[in-house]
Amino acid sequence: MKLRPFIDFLKSVITFRPMDTGADFAEMRYKGLKRTLVFWMSVLTIVPLLVLFTASYYWLQALFHEESRHELAWDIENAKNQIEYFVDVKISALRFLASGHRYDQLSDQQLLARIFAAFKREFGAVVDLGLIDKHGIQQSYTGPYNLQGKDYANQEWFHKAVTRGIYVSDVFLGYRRLPHFAIAVKQDEPDTDTFWILRATIDMETLNRLLSSIKLDDADDAFIISRSGTLQTSSQHHGDVLEQYAVPALLRQRGITILDLKDDAGRPYVFGYAFIKDTSWILSVVEKSGTRTKIAAVFRAEYFAVIAVIVFLILLAAFRMVHVMVNWIRESEEKREEVLREVEHATKLASIGRLAAGVSHEINNPLAIINEKAGLMKDILMLSENNVDREKFLRSVNGILDSVKRARTITHQLLGFARRMDVTPEVLDINDVLTEVVGFLQKETLFRDVQVKQNLGADLPRVKSNRGRLQQVFLNIINNAMDAMEAGGRIEIITDLKDKSTVRARIRDSGRGMDAQTLKHIFDPFFTTKGMTKGTGLGLFISYGIIKKLGGNILVQSEVDKGTTFTVELPVDQPVPTIA
Amino acid sequence: MKDKNIKVLLVDDEEAFVDTLANRLKLRDLKVETVYDGEQALAAVKEKEPDVMILDLKMPGLHGMEVLREIRKTYPKIQVIILTGHGTEKHEEEARRLGGFDFLKKPTDIETLLGKIKIAYKEKLEKAFSAIAFAEAGEFDTAREIMEEENDK
């Protein structure tokens, strides 16, 4: 997963500030925020869920697989038992025959024929019956062939029967070219220290029926092979009787073995086998269909339907929650903006009040002078009757005119200030604004004995900004600088080009500076070091908002007892073209 | 005419104002001295020992309030009238609390100002006379009390 967009997303949530921008842009940001939130909420909930579902699906399948193997083993065991029982019964019957008759009795062809008839009636599936003496010569025989007197002395089965006592042969094509197998039982005659063998040929039909008791799909197969791989029964897909089957390497093992194998084409299949007692047969099951091992389609469909419903519900919940959340954020942001507007308005009113107080002082002084001069003129006229001191009189008139001029300057300045309180953006020269502000504060600086040094950069590009707002900010910063200083302090105002798209104004004072703790909160609303009566704690907060709104930046550096530098950065109207 | 004995000290950074007002008060037979800031005022008080001081508030250097505070401490007999163009209610309250005799706003009528000066002078004299009277009668404690009351004002 890419981490980058997630980190960006977190950043965007933390620094989310729609009030910085216009309403349309804020709306877009809300939409974007909604999208990202929905996306990540969905990813963070659905992905683990899907992992869980997938894991449990595979776990279930493994369980199914295991279960199906048990089932298969059970079927094989069942078939094996039946086949063993079938063979066992035939062997027991032959032994019973052998132990219940003497050699000379069985040598009688007619008696043997009667016994064969009874045997066939009781046990069925028997094709013929023969008696072979210790030299391998068939003494008597009853069945479809004329085999009396046939010599078996050199045949393998004879030797095996002699050594083992019981022998069950592999399958061969016998009477009517049908598959058969033979059972031979050796009977010892301890009195005469000799032996003889009773041999019966059995039809494979019954075994084929027993094999079909294993529940299988069309693609699957159940058959018997000899240890050398010769098919003992016909199979669906692996050849007919006596054909060769490519046996996977088998180990002699008791019980039932189930193997997971792959065929030549690489397809997986299950191979189960069991050895049949007293024979060389191996009961084999090849399961290629996988029907047993697969989870039922109905169950699978239900499973996926449940997942789909849950995912849908999660998405629905995510959408709903994000909608509510973003709306909540939007409402609180709007409320905050509303409060900020009110606060800004209140500070504006407060500053107007301060302005009014300052202005009345500045007007009252010339008025007082006019008052006294005019009064003096009246005094002169009243007291000196006819010989008026023209000189003195003229001085007073000039004094009055000077004072009127002084008052007029102030009122004109005030008008200019009021006009600049509107908020329409304009292209302006930052130096002009600073000069105006300094001019406005001239009386104040003189009064406080603060020296203001202006170091304004020449040919600075103009900035797109707002004169009134900018005046407000600089007035604020310079006022703060003066408040931070004793008489005899210095304020330096420097303007220059920070880079080709930013004009920078620095206001450096020699005041008492601030510690790190104060610096941290300097732009916080209602934070003031001036005490409740003097400062509202809103000046720099509002200034910060204004500069941000104007697309600029306001920074502060300070050192205790050395002074403070405020830096205001504003974007230029058009970037300065680079000189080639 | 006893008005001729009233010594007034004008303290204001507006020289044109101070000089003209001084002229006019002189025409009305007062003894007037002028200074242009707080430090000069404190120095002049020692030298000239005025009866009434007309004091501006907003001046470069020492603020009028500080001057008032200092005067009340060192020369409690001098009556201080604040005359300022910057007069808010808060300033007036503070000035009266510090023991200023009266609070006037610029521009003010010359007769009003003259009246205030005369009342201030009269009050000063009365207090001094009563203290002297008590002192002559041997009631030194009462005389001292009158003076101290003035001090605490």
- pLDDT tens digit sequence for A245-281: 877 766 666 788 888 888 888 888 888 899 988 888 8
Asked whether residue A532 carries a pLDDT value surpassing 50, the answer given is no
Q: In what order do the strands lie in the sheet with A256-262?
A: A221-226, A281-287, A268-275, A256-262
**CA–CA separation, A301 vs A218, rounded Å?**
24
Mean of pLDDT over chain B = 86
Q: How far is A524 from chain B (nearest CA, A)?
A: 29
Instruction: Give the H/E segment covering residue A430.
Output: helix A430-440
**CA–CA separation, B106 vs B119, rounded Å?**
19
User: What is the residue range of B102's domain?
Assistant: 2-152
Alpha helices in A461-514 (DSSP H): 467-483
Q: Which fold has domain A18-295?
A: Beta-Lactamase (3.30.450)
Instruction: Give the H/E segment covering residue B52.
Output: strand B52-55
Partner-chain contact B107 A379, CB within 8 Å: no
Cα distance from N-terminal residue to C-terminal residue, chain A: 46
Residue that wins the pLDDT comparison between A411 and B120: B120
- The pLDDT of residue A505 is 94
pLDDT digits (tens, 9 = 90+) for A404-436: 988 887 777 666 555 544 556 788 899 989 998
Residues of B at the A interface, defined by Cβ within 8 angstroms: 14, 16-17, 20-21, 23-24, 27, 58-61, 84-86, 88, 105-110
**CA–CA separation, A438 vs A453, rounded Å?**
10
Residue A3 DSSP code: S
**CA–CA separation, B107 vs A364, rounded Å?**
6
- The pLDDT of residue A1 is 44
Of the pLDDT bands very low, low, confident and very high (cuts 50, 70, 90), residue A63 is confident
Q: How many domains does chain B have?
A: 1
Q: Which fold has domain A420-571?
A: Heat Shock Protein 90 (3.30.565)
**CA–CA separation, A356 vs A364, rounded Å?**
12
* Contact criterion met (CB below 8 Å) for A223 and A284: yes
Interchain CB contact of A370 with B (< 8 Å): yes
Max avg pLDDT among A388-402, A518-532, B110-124:
B110-124
When pLDDT is averaged across residues A560-579 and rounded to a whole number, the result is 79
Residue B34 CB partners (closer than 8 Å, separation 6+): B9, B10, B18, B19, B22
**CA–CA separation, B19 vs B29, rounded Å?**
15
Strand A281-287 and strand A268-275: the pairing is: antiparallel
Q: What's the pTM?
A: 0.46
Nearest CA in chain B to A371: B107
Of the pLDDT bands very low, low, confident and very high (cuts 50, 70, 90), residue A525 is low
Q: In what order do the strands lie in the sheet with B79-84?
A: B31-35, B7-11, B52-55, B79-84, B102-105
Nearest CA in chain A to B57: A361
In chain B, which residues have their Cβ closer than 8 Å to the Cβ of A487? 61
Nearest CA in chain A to B89: A357
In chain B, which residues have their Cβ closer than 8 Å to the Cβ of A448? 60
pLDDT digits (tens, 9 = 90+) for B86-113: 777 888 999 999 989 999 988 899 999 9
Partner-chain contact A357 B60, CB within 8 Å: no
- The pLDDT of residue A131 is 92
Longest dimension (CA), chain B: 49
Residue B86 DSSP code: S
Strand A138-142 and strand B31-35: the pairing is: unpaired
Asked whether residue B9 carries a pLDDT value surpassing 90, the answer given is yes
Asked whether residue A379 carries a pLDDT value surpassing 70, the answer given is yes
List where CATH 3.30.450.20 sits in chain A.
Answer: 18-295
Q: How far is B39 from chain A (nearest CA, A)?
A: 14
Q: CB-hemisphere CA count at 13 Å for A96? A: 8
ipTM: 0.83
Asked whether residue A315 carries a pLDDT value surpassing 60, the answer given is yes
The type of residue at A196 is W
Residue A308 CB partners (closer than 8 Å, separation 6+): none
Give the rounded percent of residues in chain B with a pLDDT score beyond 90.
48
pLDDT digits (tens, 9 = 90+) for A481-520: 888 888 888 999 999 998 888 999 999 999 888 888 888 8
**Structure tokens belonging to residue A437:** 């502000």
pLDDT digits (tens, 9 = 90+) for B25-44: 998 989 999 999 999 999 99
When pLDDT is averaged across residues A221-238 and rounded to a whole number, the result is 85
Residue B115 CB partners (closer than 8 Å, separation 6+): none
Nearest CA in chain A to B37: A447
- The pLDDT of residue B133 is 80
Q: How far is B94 from chain A (nearest CA, A)?
A: 14
Residue that wins the pLDDT comparison between A352 and A79: A79
For B20, the closest of A373, A447, A487 (CB atoms) is: A373
For B17, the closest of A357, A369, A396 (CB atoms) is: A369
In chain B, which residues have their Cβ closer than 8 Å to the Cβ of A360? 85-86
* Contact criterion met (CB below 8 Å) for A248 and A229: no
Alpha helices in A193-261 (DSSP H): 205-211
- The pLDDT of residue A176 is 75
Partner-chain contact A364 B107, CB within 8 Å: yes
Residue A538 CB partners (closer than 8 Å, separation 6+): A343, A346, A347, A525, A526
Helix or strand or coil: residue A320? helix
When pLDDT is averaged across residues A5-12 and rounded to a whole number, the result is 58
Residue contacts between A and B (CB atoms, under 8 Å): 70
Of the pLDDT bands very low, low, confident and very high (cuts 50, 70, 90), residue B153 is very low
For B14, the closest of A363, A365, A375 (CB atoms) is: A365
CATH of the domain at B50: 3.40.50.2300
- The pLDDT of residue B53 is 95
